[in-house]
Structure formats: structure tokens, C-alpha cells
Amino acid sequence: MGKEAVVLYLKNTNLIPLEIAEEISNHFESKLLLRNQMHLEEGSVCDEYFFLERGFIRSFAYDTEGNEVTTNFYASGQVVFEVASFFNRTKSKENIQALTDCVGWFITYRQLNHLFHALPEFREFGRSVLVKGFSDLKTRMLSMITETAEQRYIALLKTNPEIFQQASLKNIASFLGITDTSLSRIRKEVSKKY
């Protein structure tokens, strides 16, 4: 599909007119990630604002015992970047890895800042992306506190069924904050009920 995917993504927010979306897309460069390839590694500064046109990605961090804990999943049509590292210019504590072969488009931190200052529409778009990201993070954090593991599993199954086709059960379990064994038990119980 090419840069048209970036144009559509920007335009569909209803914050950016077509001609400005096309102008912004001219600053994006293509990037391919192979299955299991790292897009960002812990200790590096995130410098790419990456629009995922096609594929599936996960982010993860290591807990104090060295276990991988999945922090997020990204599907086609989403922006993938480690926000704290990107905007604060600090070393990332997260890793970002392609779970499938991926095709996408990116701009660097410097290019993004230039566009934010040059185009008020893009600045408004960026603000809306950050607000949605913050809201999603807050919702996820509260669900870990206020919902049972089964409720979190059912919600994930309803809102993001693609995750169950693209990610390993181990990654899904860590994302839900449970063990692989607990996830297996919950899956069996839920399949009996529905």
C-alpha cells in the first residue's frame, strides 16, 4: 500500500486535512522488520516514531528476576514507540520485537519535532495520540487492580482477538499478569462457559 497507509491513518483522525497528511507522509521512510527482529533494545534511546502498516509487534521488559514481561501488543494501523525514551531522550527500559514480518513507516525524533513546530494540525494529532495512549495505559493499570485474571482474559479476547493468533501463550500470560498454567486453566473454564 505504501505511504498511502500513513496518509489514511493521519487523515482518519479528522484532525489533519488530506493535503497536510500527504505533506507529513513525505517525511516518513519505509522500514521492514523480520519475525523476531528487535525494533528497540533496552538501553538504547528510542529515536523512531514507527507506524505499523502490516504485522504484529510486542513490547516487553525484564522483571527483577530476569523474566520477560510483555507490556503491550501492536497490530497493523498502530504507532509503535517507547514514549518515555522517545520524548525524554533517555535509555529505554523496554524492548520492542516483531512477532511477525512487519512493514511500516517511521520518522525520527528530530523530524517529528520539526513537524510539530511547523504544522499545528500535526501537533494536535500528536496530542490526541498521547492522550489516547495515556488513557489506555491508565485503563490497563486499573484493570490489573480491579479485575480478576479471568475478567482481564475475557476483555482481551473481546477487544484484541488477533493477539491470540499472533502471540505465544507465554507472552499473553505475562501481559495479563498471570502464569502460563493459570492462563491454561482460565481458557478451559471460559470455553466451558461460552
pTM of the model: 0.91
- Please check the confidence at residue 1 and state whether its pLDDT lies above 80: no
Per-residue confidence (pLDDT) for residue 183, from 0 to 100: 94
Arithmetic mean of pLDDT, 97-102? 98
Phi, psi of 12 (to 5 degrees): -70, -10
Lowest mean pLDDT among 9-13, 31-35, 92-96: 9-13
Arithmetic mean of pLDDT, 60-74? 96
Average pLDDT, the chain: 94
pLDDT in tens, 46-55: 999 999 999 9
* Long-range CB contacts (within 8 A, 24+) of 173-182: 174/60, 174/67, 174/68, 174/69, 174/70, 175/69, 175/70, 175/71, 175/72, 175/73, 176/149, 176/152, 177/144, 177/149, 177/152, 178/149, 182/149
Per-residue confidence (pLDDT) for residue 140, from 0 to 100: 93
- Please check the confidence at residue 31 and state whether its pLDDT lies above 90: yes
Per-residue confidence (pLDDT) for residue 15, from 0 to 100: 85
Percent of the chain whose pLDDT exceeds 90: 87
pLDDT in tens, 125-141: 989 988 998 999 999 99
